[in-house]
Structure 1
Amino acid sequence: MKNELADVWFYNQGWTAHDFQKQCWTEIAANRSGILNAPTGYGKTLAIWFGVIQQYYSASYQQQISKQRKKGLHALWITPLRALSKEIHRVTEGVSADLDLDYQIELRTGDTSTANRLKQRKNPPQALITTPESVHLLLATKQGQDYFKQLEFIVVDEWHELLGSKRGVLIELALSRLKNINPNLKIWGISATIGNLGQAKDILLGSSNTGVMVKAKINKKITIQTVLPDSLEKFPWAGHLGIRLLDKVVNIVNQYGTTLIFTNTRSQAEIWYQQIISQYPEFAGLLAIHHGSLSDEVRVWVEEALHAGRLKAVVCTSSLDLGVDFRPVDCVIQIGSPKGVARFLQRAGRSGHRPDATSIIYYVPTNSLEIIEGDSLKFAVKEKIVEQRIPYIRSFDVLTQYLMTLAVGDGFDPQQIFAEITQTHCFESVTQEEFDQCMGLLLHGGTSLKAYDDFHRLELIDGLYKVTSRKLAMRHRLSIGAIVSDLMMRVKFLSGKYLGSIEESFISKLNVGDVFWFSGRQLELIQVIANDAIVKASEKKKGVIPSWMGGRFAISPDLGIAIRHSFSNIHRKSGQSEEIKFLQPLFLEQERVSGLPKAEELLVEYTETKYGFHLFIYPFDGKLVHEGMAQVIAYRLGQITPATFSIATNEYGIELLSDTAYELNEQILKQIFSPANLHADINSGINVQEMARRRFRDIAGIAGLVFQGFPGKQMKSKHLQANAALFFSVFSEYESNNLLLRESYDEVFDFQLEEGRMMKAFERIDKHQIIFRKPDKLTPFAFPIFSESFRERYSNEDWQSKLEKIKLQLIDG
């Protein structure tokens, strides 16, 4: 079907529309919903947008709106990031300007002023570009549901990013309500490739909506190069190699016009920025830093400078992963393991961010053993191995918040809402009894909190449950959302200039006068006033790097499969990749002093040093899975021979260190690696209750049990933790079937301990042959894990120098 507006605009640009764009326009014109999957830089936004505005300007729709007494909202475009919202606004506004359309498009995010929000409420634009939280804020206003009565389209951008989070649950709930307000609503998702794309479509469109899948038949060309060091460290340690490759990274930057240098954590970004600027001062003014804790002002400046081509390179984190559109960069560098194939591809796509261009990405390992991941990533990309996004189910904290949102707005009929929410993927298994328990929490505090007036929040007025307290309503609106983290403190100069935010747990460890690196600057802490850390610029040479809680994530199961595939190729006599060839001396040394496992083998090493008795195991399943596995194995060993263990893990293996010698043989090893009774041993060997107690703080915050404070007057994290811990204890003692309490345990098993992945690892190992070795010294595989535990015992300088001495002894030996 022809799209006249698109035809004119594309003709004027001198472009030809892709087949997937034309297919989207045809499906939208036929009033279908669906999901679009296409590579970055090929015009996904335009594929949906021209369908939306063509429908608006169709004769039938214009006739329909001429009968409306008041102009209403036509399209809602939801994005996960404010920066992405601004980009969508820029592109769509450009189309309206080029075609001289009277189609008004506005932004509504956390940055939108109160005056503009009021104006948008009274006189809606045709299209509103916003975030999941802002949609719920609109539902939490009086006549909020009327606001959406004329809504024709909802577009959810970067749906794959939202799917595996509680923000995705917010989307599911909002859609369940909006579909009821307007049954003719057309819903479109835009998603990068994920392993469960079909499920992603089903969750977005809901149980009653068939919808279509539009996939771009475009093979994006990608060039992956591993940056190899000049010489190989046979005894690598974590984080050691990265900065040693600084000169090579700078050489790459100098070869291209613009480069994005991706790190996995904000701390790592600060380190790399500081190292480049201190060793290459000529980059001053040409190098910038971009991560989620910097102020909007700083990030916007960086994005605009990139767009204008004023920067040579930007050191960044996932804050630049998504579709923030600046002038395409020429090259991408990934520092360290990207932990996932999809994340690696997303970052690669930031270069050559236009049709027919090749994406160029350099992979920079941070230790010798990590070099093999260059081979793994190439294999995964070639075989099109991409991760699934696991959706949340039964998130009662989000459901409780949502019910409160509706009550603060126009009020709700519980039976109608129960019927709606059970049509969503997240809540399809919820029983009437469980829904009533959520209602009970808001009506009277549930079984345990009935005596407290604070938890009598809803009133039944004319058949609808509502919140009548203005104070409660205001507190709730300030708490809407499902993004949880450690409490953040604002970093400010004495002049009042705001630099960004750091987690309170980091600032609480500093004394006045201490120096730390932040926003690419050396800062000295002057004082802490309420929620503000007041700083001044410092000339001192030594400073600590902030460590943010958000930086801890493990390799994905799919990258784990690719890594195990690479290790299985070590034994091949020909056709080896450059990474495996380069690592041959390390592998030969490993084989000489211990053993080199094949695909269906598990290597276990038992070594005695002056530090104690070390048990090393190499499942290659990722750090987070290894942490849980290690605690189960330590528990099982302790049942055989009582011993106390200290535990260290990395992405490849596990170390259990004890002062006690214990007998080990293949029969005992088979016993401790058995998948039998795993759930019971997790409960016995791991302090699951303490983990659930910590998880409960976030759940209590989302559900509204604890209030985090007003803007600028947030509660201190220790007070929040204490309040949440009190509820946890009360529920544990008096209401053990409490839904929020159960949810905290479920999330620990599903997401923190990753019980499903742990079970698969134990089941796989159960089928493997165990290669048991007793080397007389630490091996190349063992050394990186040993260095992780060794780090805990010494200050940074002592740790590095002592570790170098141990390494020299191993090499000499």
Structure 2
Amino acid sequence: MTDNGRVPVEIEAWFAARDWRIRDHQRDMYAAALAGKHAMLVADTGAGKTLAGFLPTLADFCPSKLDGAPPHDGLHTLYISPLKALAHDVQRNLVAPVEEMGLPIRIETRSGDTPSDRKKRQRGKPPHILLTTPESLSLLLSYPDSIMMFAGLKRIVIDEVHAFATGKRGDLLALSLSRLQAIAPGLQRAALSATVADPAAYQSWLAPWGDLDSVALVEGEKGAKPDLEILLPIEERVPWGGHAATWAIPQLIETIKANRTTLIFTNTRFLAEFIFQNLWEANDENLPIGVHHGSLSAEARRKVEGAMARGELRALVATASLDLGVDWGDIDCVVQMGAPKGSSRLLQRIGRANHRLDQPSRAMLIPGNRFEFLEATAAKDAVDEGQRDGEDFRDGGLDVLAQHVMACACAGPFDEQELLAEIRSSLSYAWVDQAVWARVLGFVESGGYSLRAYDRFKRIIRDRDGVWRLTHPEHAARHRRNAGIIIDAEMLNVRFKNGRSLGRVEENFGATLSAGDTFFFSGTSLEVVQIKDMDLFVRASAKAAVIPSYGGARMPLSTHLADRVQGLLDNRAGWGRFPDDVREWLEVQDYRSVLPKPGQLLVESFPHSKRHYTVYYTFEGWNANQSLGMLITRRMEVLGLQPGGFVANDYSLGVWGLRPVDDPAPLLSPDILTDEFVEWVQDSHLLRRAFREVAVISGLIERQHPGKRKSGKQVTFSTDLIYDVLRKHEPDHVLLEAAWADARARLTDVGRLADLLERSAEQLHHMTLERVSPLAVPIMVMIGRESVPQGAIDDELLLEAESLADTAMRVGPIEALE
């Protein structure tokens, strides 16, 4: 029996039959549930986290605990996953113990791929355990029968909580948790993660009303340390530039041959396809190799996942679509192509190998260039030391709050003060006061002051008794068709004014451009004429390209890894473990110039090819560096320094012009964020892009209509019209505020930018050189190159790199430059 807190005998016997033991953290999670506490579990991959989260649920259905009473009827446990693939994987792995213990538990999944008839049946006759995503849960809560469906809910298990809690999906889930807690006050929350850097912050996020004492923190048993190596070229040198690491394809083929199953991670969908094609071209033995990423159809993904689960593939190339929790025990080697960008992300990916606590996960890092080698080394050191990183929590988004308010209205009439109290019970929205709440309600009611004349924006109305309700039942169907947080990335068509198309660039690049900016594309310097809808209109220009390259969706370099890379540069005693060519690179840099110290901003200026270059070694990530490049070139123009352009990567920013920068301090003064920043964001497409996303999330603009979906161009046209109206007539509109918050935080990384400018005021070190330095070669190689195939380095680029490197690495008298 379990009156003394022991795990039921059925579960003990099931573990014993497999020669397993119930681990301490699994027992602790069960004990927390018996004590009526919520729980946050932090445990290594392979530690049985998911089973620990479900242990109280399984126990509630064990005959020895029921003691003759009937089992729970209706929905008992919700499982929330950031990925549909993970939910399906958990279902596969949960069915076995349930069936083998003979427990009367029905388990089902619910996502966007679930047939509509099954979704309807699940609301009326739900399973005991429902596996779903934050978006699907929010939709369930929008139905009038949700009160009945969730009234008996006992437990919610949030898996891989680090993957979404700090973003807008986490905002939506936090609001749903508050609603569920109001419906089922005895509900227990459990969150699981292997890679949380600050468990206390996640405890606060998980706790209702921020009551930290109500959440037990459970630490998992330590597992075997990963067996992690960095792959290097056998005979060649570590490349100067590029990100794809295609130099390693022959060695990677040998790795695939030597293992049963190899999982190969890339950082973007393009690189997944690019590496997959390169592997196939080198796959002389026709080994079965697959590819998996979010752009593939659900059917294609399920086919690949099934083949992996059955052990039919020797290798699978994947993106973050398979980062989280997928338990394929036969994977015996994980490969990370290119830089890992964060130690937590790397730990998560490494954990896909073996997936057992007592066996080391084998993994290989393959850097694309020399800075990526340093980043890989920093990540390996962090993993070896068990150090994690992650994003900080921030205030919840107003667009997400508006979507949630509409979902509540769809479920039934609500009292505004009762709903506000419910919303404020979550950490993400504890900051919402009466004034903010009134503005949000006003927006959901009619779109705001400037839009209230249009009937289609009138979605809710307040009765005389102060209760809010829908103005028409049709608004509920419209909400359910369009609700969601994930906004698909759009591409801009690059066109001449006569309509001729040159190709497409990703919108996150196009959003940084303003009329008059020039960039290099398709072998031509192009000047931006205007951005209209989803078209980027240009004309050929004789001017040098101000922005010579663009890239795909980028994972940000974590601050933790950036600091470690700078630490490696400063620790000369540790260079002995580096390859000869990397060590020589740093030694010559130290001889010719200096190396950036931790906390210092090194700036180098030098002439090259009849131009004057300035390189800023920021280590703040591509987003912040791209933003800084935009701002610096604007200020250079004002100061008469005749800027020619800039290029950025995660580690540095290179800017050039016709006149030298004798003192970079005026270009880096903090007031650039109050003057040039606001002007740049308002003049560029950035704010419009951010507004479109918040307009869609908040429900102001609908993507889905019965039987059809609006194109990206149609959505952009609609939001641009509204944006112009609000900018002119209601500049303090709640959605403009939300758009500004996104533009500052997500699109420009203004927080890291501000830290950089503050550091420059105290720790700026400017070196004036006669020629390019070794450390500048990786950023100089990028100049004038368009990176449509991100990381694909052709012969011409390699020759250019070698020429620059010869100049940079020469320690004798300087020869005449061009």
Distance between the aligned counterparts of 2:791 and 2:457, measured in 1? 52
Contact 1:444 1:456 in 2 (8 A): yes
Q: Deviations over 1:586-610 (max 9, x none)?
A: 2234345544444465432223333
Q: What is the aligned-residue RMSD (CA, Å)?
A: 3.2
Contact 2:600 2:759 in 1 (8 A): no
Equivalent residue, structure 2, for 1:643: 642
Report SS of the residue matched to 1:72. Answer: coil
Contact 1:375 1:579 in 2 (8 A): no
Distance between the aligned counterparts of 1:18 and 1:367, measured in 2? 42
Equivalent residue, structure 1, for 2:285: 282
Report SS of the residue matched to 1:408. Answer: helix
Q: Deviations over 1:765-810 (max 9, x none)?
A: 333351413233x333222212323113999999945434434544
Equivalent residue, structure 1, for 2:522: none
Map 1:571-582 to 2 at 5 A.
571-572=572-573, 575-576=574-575, 578-579=577-578, 581-582=580-581
Q: Deviations over 1:376-419 (max 9, x none)?
A: 11222234332233234141111111111111122322111011
Distance between the aligned counterparts of 2:286 and 2:733, measured in 1? 57
Equivalent residue, structure 2, for 1:248: 251
Q: TM-score when scaled to structure 2?
A: 0.86
Select which of 789, 798, 805 maps to 2:783.
789
Flag the 1:232–1:661 CA change in 2: closer, same or farther, 3 A: farther
Equivalent residue, structure 2, for 1:37: 42
Distance between the aligned counterparts of 1:626 and 1:482, measured in 2? 27
AA matched with 1:662? P
Map 1:348-497 to 2 at 5 A.
348-460=350-462, 464-467=467-470, 469-486=472-489
Select which of 715, 719, 724 maps to 1:720.
715
Equivalent residue, structure 2, for 1:500: none
Flag the 1:369–1:178 CA change in 2: closer, same or farther, 3 A: closer
Equivalent residue, structure 2, for 1:527: none
AA matched with 1:623? W
Equivalent residue, structure 1, for 2:526: none
Flag the 1:775–1:202 CA change in 2: closer, same or farther, 3 A: same
Say yes or no: does 1:632 pair with 2:634.
Answer: no
Report SS of the residue matched to 2:656. Answer: strand
State the Cα distance separating 1:174 from its structure 2 match.
Answer: 0.8
State the Cα distance separating 1:613 from its structure 2 match.
Answer: 2.1
Flag the 1:348–1:703 CA change in 2: closer, same or farther, 3 A: same
- The more displaced of 585-594 and 349-358 is 585-594
Say yes or no: does 1:270 pair with 2:268.
Answer: no
Equivalent residue, structure 1, for 2:602: 603
Gaps of 5+ in 2: 505-548, 808-818
Distance between the aligned counterparts of 2:494 and 2:143, measured in 1? 37
Distance between the aligned counterparts of 2:227 and 2:803, measured in 1? 40
Q: Deviations over 1:636-675 (max 9, x none)?
A: 43343342341101122111122x21350xxx23333344
Equivalent residue, structure 2, for 1:753: 748
Q: TM-score when scaled to structure 1?
A: 0.87
Equivalent residue, structure 2, for 1:693: 688
AA matched with 2:647? A
State the Cα distance separating 1:92 from its structure 2 match.
Answer: 2.1
Equivalent residue, structure 2, for 1:237: 241
Contact 1:641 1:662 in 2 (8 A): no
Flag the 1:104–1:810 CA change in 2: closer, same or farther, 3 A: closer
- The more displaced of 578-587 and 429-438 is 578-587
Q: Deviations over 1:497-554 (max 9, x none)?
A: xxxxxx686999x999999xxxxxxxxxxxxxxxxxxxxxxxxxxxxxxx99973222
State the Cα distance separating 1:97 from its structure 2 match.
Answer: 0.6
Report SS of the residue matched to 2:227. Answer: strand
AA matched with 1:237? G
Distance between the aligned counterparts of 1:796 and 1:31, measured in 2? 51
Q: Deviations over 1:186-206 (max 9, x none)?
A: 111112222222111211222
State the Cα distance separating 1:577 from its structure 2 match.
Answer: 5.1
Report SS of the residue matched to 1:806. Answer: helix
Flag the 1:289–1:413 CA change in 2: closer, same or farther, 3 A: same
Flag the 1:183–1:386 CA change in 2: closer, same or farther, 3 A: same
Equivalent residue, structure 2, for 1:537: none
Say yes or no: does 1:661 pair with 2:665.
Answer: no
Equivalent residue, structure 1, for 2:585: 586
AA matched with 2:783? S
Q: Deviations over 1:680-717 (max 9, x none)?
A: 44224555763111111110001111111237622121
Contact 2:61 2:104 in 1 (8 A): no
Equivalent residue, structure 1, for 2:32: 27
Equivalent residue, structure 2, for 1:185: 187
AA matched with 1:751? R
Q: Deviations over 1:1-22 (max 9, x none)?
A: 2111321211122211111111
Q: What is the aligned length?
A: 755
- The more displaced of 441-450 and 758-767 is 758-767
Map 1:536-575 to 2 at 5 A.
551-569=553-571, 571-572=572-573, 575=574
Equivalent residue, structure 1, for 2:730: 735
Distance between the aligned counterparts of 2:788 and 2:206, measured in 1? 50
AA matched with 2:429? F
Report SS of the residue matched to 1:203. Answer: helix
Equivalent residue, structure 1, for 2:261: 258
Distance between the aligned counterparts of 1:299 and 1:344, measured in 2? 23
Contact 1:29 1:55 in 2 (8 A): no
State the Cα distance separating 1:730 from its structure 2 match.
Answer: 1.4
Distance between the aligned counterparts of 1:335 and 1:296, measured in 2? 25
Flag the 1:596–1:96 CA change in 2: closer, same or farther, 3 A: closer
Distance between the aligned counterparts of 1:715 and 1:279, measured in 2? 42
Flag the 1:55–1:360 CA change in 2: closer, same or farther, 3 A: same
Report SS of the residue matched to 2:782. Answer: helix
Equivalent residue, structure 2, for 1:222: 226
Distance between the aligned counterparts of 1:18 and 1:797, measured in 2? 44
Contact 2:250 2:282 in 1 (8 A): no
Equivalent residue, structure 1, for 2:759: 764
- The more displaced of 378-387 and 167-176 is 378-387
Distance between the aligned counterparts of 2:787 and 2:345, measured in 1? 34
Report SS of the residue matched to 1:781. Answer: helix
Say yes or no: does 1:308 pair with 2:310.
Answer: yes
Flag the 1:379–1:448 CA change in 2: closer, same or farther, 3 A: same
Distance between the aligned counterparts of 2:550 and 2:676, measured in 1? 31
Contact 2:482 2:702 in 1 (8 A): yes
Contact 1:504 1:717 in 2 (8 A): no
- The more displaced of 670-679 and 42-51 is 670-679
State the Cα distance separating 1:456 from its structure 2 match.
Answer: 1.3
Distance between the aligned counterparts of 1:717 and 1:710, measured in 2? 14
Distance between the aligned counterparts of 1:788 and 1:114, measured in 2? 49
Contact 1:76 1:153 in 2 (8 A): yes
- The more displaced of 781-790 and 448-457 is 781-790
Distance between the aligned counterparts of 1:650 and 1:282, measured in 2? 37
Gaps of 5+ in 1: 488-502, 516-546
Contact 1:232 1:368 in 2 (8 A): no
Contact 2:223 2:357 in 1 (8 A): no
Distance between the aligned counterparts of 2:293 and 2:631, measured in 1? 36
Distance between the aligned counterparts of 1:673 and 1:513, measured in 2? 36
Contact 1:595 1:771 in 2 (8 A): no
Contact 2:168 2:396 in 1 (8 A): no
Q: Deviations over 1:725-745 (max 9, x none)?
A: 122111111111111101111
Q: Deviations over 1:301-345 (max 9, x none)?
A: 222222222111111111111111223311111111011111111
Distance between the aligned counterparts of 2:147 and 2:788, measured in 1? 59
Contact 2:615 2:776 in 1 (8 A): yes
Report SS of the residue matched to 1:329. Answer: coil
Distance between the aligned counterparts of 2:629 and 2:186, measured in 1? 53
Report SS of the residue matched to 1:699. Answer: helix
Contact 1:144 1:410 in 2 (8 A): no
Distance between the aligned counterparts of 2:11 and 2:333, measured in 1? 31
Taking only the aligned residue pairs, the percentage that are identical comes to 30
